[in-house]
Amino acid sequence: MSKLLTGGCQCGAVRFTLKGQPGKASICHCRMCQKAFGSYFAPLISVGEGSLEWTRGTPAHFQSSNVVKRGFCRDCGTPLTYEAPDGVAIAAGTFDDPEALPPVIQYGTERKLSFFDELHALPGRSTSSDIEDTAWLVNLSSFQHPDHDTDRWSS
Ligand SMILES: [Zn+2]
Ligand SMILES: [Zn+2]
């Protein structure tokens, strides 16, 4: 099955297309991924047998170890890639349709945070249910790039 998957950073300065069949979708609990994503874990889609093309801009990089580089948008800071000697993976949340590639495996479980397995049981509220407490949301104007390719973009 061949897929055409697109995505990019929050500001739209960096956009990509992933053609062909991607590799595994995973989450990684390792401490380096937590830090690089500013999150409890990193969701990643391996490029695998697919081919990754940067269609607007390119990521900046931080060399997080002697073997791994982390790509991110130099303008908005969105984490974009994990680049290791055995291949590249893309931050799953940056895809225009993150539902398309659900994770199938967890890595780095020795550093899984103690509360991770309980996250789904937390009480939840929708954004609109909080509207009385957050009146400023009524006038919200998003500067985030839309979830599709654009000919031009400036926020
Ligand atoms: Zn950006
Ligand atoms: Zn990791």
Q: Mind listing the pLDDT tens digit for each residue in 47-91?
A: 999 999 999 999 999 999 999 999 999 999 999 999 999 999 999
Q: Starting from the CA of residue 13, give the closest ligand.
A: 1
Domain boundaries 3-114+126-139, corresponding CATH code: 3.90.1590.10
Ligand 2 geometric centre to CA of 102 (Å): 17
What is residue 147's DSSP assignment?
S
- State both tokens at 35: 């830090």
> Is this prediction's pTM over 0.85?
yes
Q: Mind listing the pLDDT tens digit for each residue in 46-57?
A: 999 999 999 999
Ligand 2 geometric centre to CA of 38 (Å): 12
For ligand 1, a single-atom ion, which residues have Cβ within 5 Å?
9, 11, 13, 73, 75-76
H or E stretch including 6? strand 3-8
Q: Starting from the CA of residue 76, give the closest ligand.
A: 1
